[in-house]
Structure 1
Amino acid sequence: MTETVISQTIEPTATIVGKRSWGRALLTPSFLVPAVVLAILILIALLPGPIAGIFGHGDPHACDLGRSTDGPANGHPFGFDLQGCDVYANVIYGTRSSLSVGLLTTVLAMAVALVVGTAAGMFGGWLDTVLSRLTDIFLGFPFLLGAVVVLGSVGERSVLTVSLVLALFGWPTMARLTRGAVRGVRGAEFVQAGQAMGLSTWRIVTRYVLPSSISPVLVLATITVGGVIVSESSLTYLGIGLQPPAVSWGLELSAASGNFERAPHMLIFPALFLVITVLAIIGLGDALRTALDPKRS
């Protein structure tokens, strides 16, 4: 009973505004269009077999060297790659790997950023100093260069391995943003009221501080997914990312790079999926940023 009264008493205005902002975002075309595109891509990632089988056998590893670099044909709308594998099946199956790396990396990086940024921003003092210097150290490593060095020294490069390495260098910016947002609300009246009423620090942070400061972090995390997908494709293109028998857009682009004049379809279709995915994610992040802007509330 006491907890309910306290919650109703110190419910922050920022949380109420945030709920209204989410509702407004869901009704705008700038949010709905990229959201629908991403929903379709997630469906493809979850069900690659049935979707790849719509136009044929649907097996990305079923190849016929006799059809090497052949263009689009009946049952094979994207044509064949250098090994005679169906490009359509490879693009469909590659959606799972590329999206998995983007989402897993962002979730891992955001989890670390929320812990580090919240602790630094909420408690300040020597803890803030130590965590801020740690963040500065990781910010000093160029993102792709750091990933190249670490991935070049590991053994098997799977989706999990690549995601962990990219997350290792991807959390500092979000941690900085989280720290600043938390510092901006830690002195608010509803936080002081919670402290005066004897609520635990954990309760205040999870119930009031984070909901009031997480909006800009969510926007950055959304955009980060697109950047990670591009980074994974770039690393794989350079031969440092995912390795066969994995299937990803980066591997397809790498295989197609030397055969563009002879077989442009090998490059066009995976690149098209990559561009559409990144544009949809950036569009979604931009729509969230606009909707959650407190000046527009």
Structure 2
Amino acid sequence: MSSKNPIRTAPHFVAEVDEGGLGAVDAVRVSDRKSNLWLDAWRDLRSRWMFWVSAVVIAFIVFVAFFPGVFTDVPPNSNCILSISNEQQAEEFGLPIGTRISDHGPIPGHPLGFTKQGCDVFSRIVHGTSTSLSVGVIVTVLVAFMGIVIGAFAGYFGGWLDSLLMRLGDIFFAIPYILAAVVIMSLFLHDRNIWVISLAIGFFSWPSTARILRSEVLRVRNLDYVMASEAIGLSKVRTMFTHVLPNSIAPVIIISTVGLAGAITAEATLSFLGVGLPNNLFMSWGNDISAAQTSLRTAPFTLIYPSIALSITVLAFIMLGETVRDALDPKARATR
């Protein structure tokens, strides 16, 4: 007796292919702008009044530094006289012969008065802007470069290299950078210029930047996309510069913005202490503040005006750094 075994058909669970378009809930619109850290930060910055105030002030300061002739045509370090001694000077200044110009108050054409040496205060402040800004930018670039290189290699490669570089940073941390800059500037009595003072300040200021970047690199290097790039054969150096650094650089931008203000203050401090830029060759707010000490009682404006210029500049960069820091911090944005 023969019997036939029926063939059992397995149930079919595969859904029919929907040839229509994706639904509105499941689809990702191609036209939507890609959201990322920098785009979100820019959107946040645009809504902050403190960002726009600091940006406008900094833009104005930069314009003054590049184009001082737009604001004054009075020579800052020449044409300085102690008193009116002839008819030509009397006609130029609109004052009678014998009038003392040293520490004189404002007159037409000289809105902020004169220094003890008879130089125009406003002209010296305007021309001193480029000196302070140049030192600040050079120091910031130097500190950022050294901090990024040292912090990136220490954080990414780790091991003995990390220990060596961080111990080196500890040594530099133990040396007050102002004190070190005073010693260095004292060694260059006849060769003081913007580059020397910038190197003196910046060479001892990089450890904080290096430590901050190192901590970010330690966080980023263990992320999946970094490990994947190493798995497909990319070299460690290429992975570091291609994938790790671009995603670790945000804190460096913040600290560099605030650090620029610190560099400007450091230059003014060194000039105030008498070891900065030569007063007869460079217009500097620190030099003006230092020279005004002897006239504090008789002509306090010679101290007040350059101090105000210095304070506004430093405050503008600090405000910019604070707003950028908040904009790059997702937690800070979420609390707004």
Shift of 1:98: 0.6
TM-score w.r.t. the length of structure 1 is 0.90
Match of 2:79 in 1: 62
SS of the residue aligned with 2:241? helix
Structure 1 CA distance for aligned equivalents of residues 266 and 307 of structure 2: 14
Matched residue SS, 1:190: helix
Residue type of the partner of 1:251? N
Residues 1-297 of structure 1 mapped to structure 2, 5 A cutoff: 16-53=36-73, 57-66=74-83, 67-155=101-189, 156-244=191-279, 245-295=281-331, 296=333
Q: 1:194, CA displacement in angstroms?
A: 1.4
* Cα shift at 1:207: 2.6
Structure 1 residue 197: Cα displacement? 2.3
Kindly state the Cα deviation for residue 62 of structure 1 after the two structures are TM-superposed: 2.2
Residue 187 of structure 1 aligns to a residue in which SS? coil
**Which deviates the most, 136-145 or 195-204?**
195-204
Q: Distance in 1 between matches of 2:241 and 2:36?
A: 16
Paired letter, 1:171: W
| Structure 1 residues 59 and 259: CA distance shift in structure 2, 3 A | closer
1:136-167 deviation digits (Å, cap 9, x = unpaired): 11111012111112211123211110000101
- 2:265 and 2:157 map into 1 onto residues whose CA distance is 36
| Unpaired segments ≥5 residues, structure 2 | 1-34, 84-100
SS of residue in 2 equivalent to 1:170: coil
Q: 1:213–1:219: structure 2 CA closer, same or farther, 3 Å change rule?
A: same
Q: Which amino acid aligns with 1:274?
A: L
Structure 1 gap ranges (5+): 1-14
Query: How far does residue 228 in structure 1 lie from its aligned partner after superposition?
Result: 1.3
> Shift in Å at residue 205 of structure 1?
2.0
Query: How far apart, in 2, do the equivalents of 1:60 and 1:92 lie?
Result: 12
Query: Which amino acid is 2:214 matched to?
Result: R
1:42: Cα distance to partner? Answer: 0.5
Q: Deviations over 1:201-247 (max 9, x none)?
A: 34322232112111111111111111111111111111011112111
Q: Which amino acid aligns with 2:250?
A: S
The one-letter amino acid of 1:90's match is R
Say which SS state the counterpart of residue 274 (structure 2) adopts. coil
What residue identity is the alignment partner of 1:292? L
Q: Taking structure 2 as the reference length, what is the TM-score of the superposition? A: 0.80
**Letter aligned with residue 303 of structure 2:** L
Q: What CA deviation, in whole Å up to 9, does each residue of 1:10-63 have, x standing for no partner? A: xxxxx922332133224421111101100000111111123222xxx3444221
Task: Give the counterpart letter for 2:313 in structure 1.
Answer: T
Question: AA paired with 1:218?
Answer: I
Output the CA distance in 1 between the equivalents of 2:39 and 2:154: 26
Q: 2:76·2:283 contact (CA, 8 Å) conserved in 1?
A: no
CA distance in 2, matches of 1:23, 1:127: 39
Equivalenced residues, count: 280
Is the Cα contact below 8 Å between 1:49 and 1:58 reproduced in 2? no
CA contact (8 A) 1:109 1:167 kept: yes
* Counterpart-to-counterpart distance in 2, 1:33 and 1:78: 25
Check conservation: 1:60, 1:93, Cα contact below 8 A: no
Letter of the 2:158 counterpart: G
Structure 2 Cα separation of the partners of residues 206 and 47 of structure 1: 37
TM-aligned CA distance change 1:49 to 1:204, over 3 Å: same
| Structure (1 or 2) with the greater helix fraction | 1
Q: Distance in 1 between matches of 2:38 and 2:52?
A: 18
